[in-house]
Amino acid sequence: MNIFVIVMTAFSGVSFVVYGISCLVSTSMRAEFERFGLARFRTLVGWLEILGGSAQLTAYWFHQLGLLGSGGLFLLMAMGVFTRWRIGDCLWVTLPAIGYLVLNAFLTVVFLKP
């Protein structure tokens, strides 16, 4: 793995672990999931983000976990972008989700290579 991939994987991993914890404990995240109409999935999404981010943080040593974490987070962000589009959020508000979608798509492709 080159340094760029290592840094981007670590960035995504830390971001998702922090965001996942926020999903589990933050009242503002609770309100966001209610706004999305997905309140019953908040805990699941939080744990999936923590697991995906943790998998990415081990990717330097365990290549397959990098693939699983990045692929799973790519799918999660695809659903997040779709959800924001469905509820009518503007592009500006959706850009972070799009950025993480693109980043994890890139990382998934990188980890697909042996």
The string of pLDDT tens digits covering residues 11-34 is 999 999 999 999 999 999 999 999
Q: Give Cα separations from 47 to 13, 30, 83 (angstroms).
A: 13, 14, 18
User: What does the alpha-carbon distance between residue 63 and residue 82 come to, in Å, rounded to a whole number?
Assistant: 29
Average pLDDT over residues 77-90: 97
User: What does the alpha-carbon distance between residue 74 and residue 79 come to, in Å, rounded to a whole number?
Assistant: 9
Tell me how many domains the chain contains: 1
The model's pTM: 0.94
Q: Give Cα separations from 57 to 3, 27, 53 (angstroms).
A: 14, 27, 6
Dmax (CA) of the chain: 42
Domain, as residue range, for 43: 3-112
The string of pLDDT tens digits covering residues 40-75 is 999 999 999 999 999 999 999 999 999 999 999 999
In this predicted structure, what is the pLDDT of residue 62? 94
